[in-house]
Structure 1
Amino acid sequence: MKHLSDEDMEQDFENLKNAFQPTPVQKEKARRLLFQQQSSKKKFRMKSLLPSIVSLIVLFSVGIGLYINIGESGTTNVTASWDRMLLEQTSQTSPTRYVLEFNGTSLIIEDRFNTFRYEPTLTKENYLKRYKIKEPLLTPGTYENYTITQSGSMYTLKVEGKPGFTYNLEKEGPRILVGEDGVRYSSRIYLDTLETVTDDITPERLKVASQNEHTFLIEWGLDSMDRGNHDFESHEHGQLVVSTDFDEFKRGQAVYYHMPSSVLAKNTEVPDMYIGRVVGLPGETVEIKGGQVYIDGKMLDTFYGKATRRGLGEKEYFELTPRNAIVDAQSTRDYFNMDMAAVSVKKDTVFILVDQWWRGYDSREYGPLPIEKIEGIITGTAE
């Protein structure tokens, strides 16, 4: 073995270092290769993340849409259907008398409180101290640009501008609303009723009728048909003319019929022959909601289509009847807002109602009346 000196070993290491040193060409190739690899790697990452980014954007948009839709689910703008509607306060927990009139784009709120109607010596403020509700949340005045939205049984009244406000009303019946402060209101039209059934033929009052070989006369003394003028009562207007000349029945006709035995068995004081009005015809469905009659889901918009007492509706009755003459105010209100489940009127039967529901028997008691039990149609009073 050859012995190397320190100088020789140092020279050999230098030669080995030079042998592994890359040339300028090799350095350039290495630099290009490294740059290309890094660039490709970056592009690959961006492309792989792009679908995820798009998916996140789509999910975010869908989430916002769902949030908006859920927030407005079941909400309907009913502003147009409230045009010309009048809401009048009927609450017994506050003596105030607020009236809301919706007219075009204007809402007029009036406070018609009159202390002289109650105790003239008291101021309104002192009078209100006795009651649970001191004053409705609404402020009298004329407001422009209102909107009404409905969600289920809740109506939200919103007035834009300055001053503006939001007031909630909950439906208790087809024409009864209760404000968020507990004040009760009634409307003259029936809420959520798009279609109606009308009767432009039947007169509200009986007229004098002629007689012939197809008619006969009867005496009648009960007030079940009383609309305030006692038209059907013989002691006021004479005998009634009953005609047997008919082929089919029409809505609104007053008929003279045999009372079903089911009623006679319960009350022996009820006469065998009775008078009532045809309200439902064969094939129809009759229902009462909130004191209003509906035919096949359509409101019966007639003078005999809702609960009355001697021809007066709820509002008129409480306004015109002295307080000491009203024995039970709540029971009376319940009467004006009574309900009856839907009844199907089968072939060869008719649904009968008396005009004063609380004073007589009709199809609410015995169901649809077989046509064979009807003796004739009342055409008027005798000459």
Structure 2
Amino acid sequence: MKHLSDDDIAQELEKLVQAFKPSSIQKEKIRRSIFVLIHPKKVFRTNTFLPTFISLIVLLVVGIGLYVIIDGSNTTNVTASWDGILLEQSSQTSATRFALKFNGTSLTIEDDFLGSNFMSDKADREAYMRGYKIKKPLLTPGIYENYTITQRGDTYTLKVNGKTGFTYNFKKLGPRILVGEDGVEYSTRIYLDTLEAITDDITPEHLEIAPQSEHTFLIEWELDSMDRGNHDFESHGHGQLVVSTDFDELQRGHVVYYHMPSSVIAKNSAVPEMYIGRVVGLPGETVEIKGGQVYIDGKKLDTFYGKATMNGLGEEEYFDSVPKSRIRDEQSTREYFNMDMAAVAVKENTVFILVDQWWRGYDSREYGPLPIDEVEGIITGIAE
């Protein structure tokens, strides 16, 4: 084995140093990794971004406000058009048979279903209830005051104010069919898609004494086809009727004295040749009766003569005030109050006539629109 001197060892070590000595490129990389400054972290300063935040908040508030305004403009209060509506549960998916009656400012919710109440055993009742898809309907029977109905698209929202208040939404499935937010379906005899109404603030509900002139003549009338509860048009109780021939055109609400079409007299010889009735539809209009309510061009005729009555009473008033012993056939009577008539177009130079008490007289439901030339005059009142 060769012994190395100190110089030999130094030379060998120098060779090892040269082998591991980094190149100029490696030195530069090392220098950069050690001495190049590290970028400082960014510091979030609220005051720098405050104007931006305020602008975003303002834009958000304005956007929400516009949305509420636009959304609210599409919501219509239809409470008045629901007065007199009866909703009856038509589905059998819950152990209820709800009936909702809207009368003025009052809403009555009734549940006529007895069902499991007859079962004495709790287990039997629970088993019985399992057969229904809807376990707990949201409505509760009772009488509620101060309700409102609003419509937005096909959704109706019922809102009841007060301590017992609640909100309940209906989705319209058809003109007479609704489904509640809990899935219970309802039907009604009245079309719900009519928001506009036609009113008559001029025609008096009862006749008053009228003056006579060279353009008037008197008639006797003994039928009760126009009776609204006090026999206004019946001569035996109030005297003769004054008929005026001085008119330029017929208006809605006018009670006219006219020649009954021969087609009616041919069917019933007891019908007088001269008859009286009220002008309801005018030339160019379409008249329809749905659920006992008259509609003109799809708009509800919201007048005292625009719906089925008996002696001036509507359905609910009639059944509340007339003793049951005097009602011979309740089903037929209710069918009368909710009768339908297909739409009839009123052509030029004709008018659509209805008597006030539909079940006691003849009118355009029988013979169609009446030619205006058949009208002899307008009844203006009772003779002195």
Name stretches of at least 5 consecutive residues in structure 2 with no aligned partner.
1-73, 89-95, 119-135, 143-163
Partner residue, 1:238: 239
Evaluate the alpha carbon distance shift between residue 108 and residue 235 of structure 1 in structure 2; reply closer, same or farther with a 3 A threshold.
closer
Question: Percent identity between the aligned chains?
Answer: 63
Matched, 1:174 2:190: yes
Distance 1:366 1:154, change over 3 A: closer
Residues in 2 aligned to 1:206 and 1:365: alpha-carbon distance in whole angstroms: 26
Quickly say closer, same or farther: Cα 1:220–1:90, change in 2 above 3 A: farther
- Tell me if 1:199 matches 2:215: no
Give the equivalent residue in structure 2 for 1:259.
Answer: 260
Residue 306 of structure 1 aligns to a residue whose secondary structure is coil
Give structure 1 regions of 4+ aligned residues with deviation exceeding 4 angstroms: 78-91, 94-103, 107-113
The answer to whether the 8 A contact 2:87-2:101 is kept is no
Q: 2-side partners of 1:100 and 1:167: how far apart?
A: 21
- Give 1:148 shift: 2.5
Q: Distance in 2 between matches of 1:213 and 1:252?
A: 24
**Which of 173, 186, 203 is the equivalent residue of 1:151?**
173
Distance in 1 (alpha carbons) for counterparts of 2:376 and 2:86: 45
Counterparts of 1:204-283 in structure 2, within 5 Å, are 204-283=205-284
Letter of the structure 2 residue corresponding to residue 316 of structure 1 = E
Tell me if structure 2 keeps the 8 A contact 1:82–1:102.
Answer: no
SS in 2 for 1:333: helix
| Structure 1 residues 343 and 95: CA distance shift in structure 2, 3 A | closer
Contact in 1 for aligned 2:207/2:382 (Cα 8 Å): yes
Separation in 2, partners of 1:170, 1:346:
37
Where 2:188 maps in the other structure, the secondary structure is strand
> Quick check: 1:298 aligned with 2:299?
yes
State the 1:139 CA deviation.
2.2
- State the partner residue of 2:315: 314
Q: Give the SS at the match of 2:232.
A: coil
Q: Which residue of 1 aligns with 2:155?
A: none
Work out the CA distance in 1 between the residues paired with 2:103 and 2:234: 40
Deviation of 1:109 (Å): 5.9
Partner SS state of residue 318, structure 1: helix
Alpha-carbon distance in structure 2 between the residues aligned to 1:259 and 1:82: 40
1:102, 1:80 → 2: CA distance? Answer: 18
State the alpha-carbon separation in 2 of the partners of residues 320 and 250 from structure 1.
33
Q: Deviations over 1:137-196 (max 9, x none)?
A: 6424624343232222432334xxxxxxx2624223216xxxxxxxxxxxxxxx221111
- After TM superposition, the score normalised by the length of structure 2 is 0.61
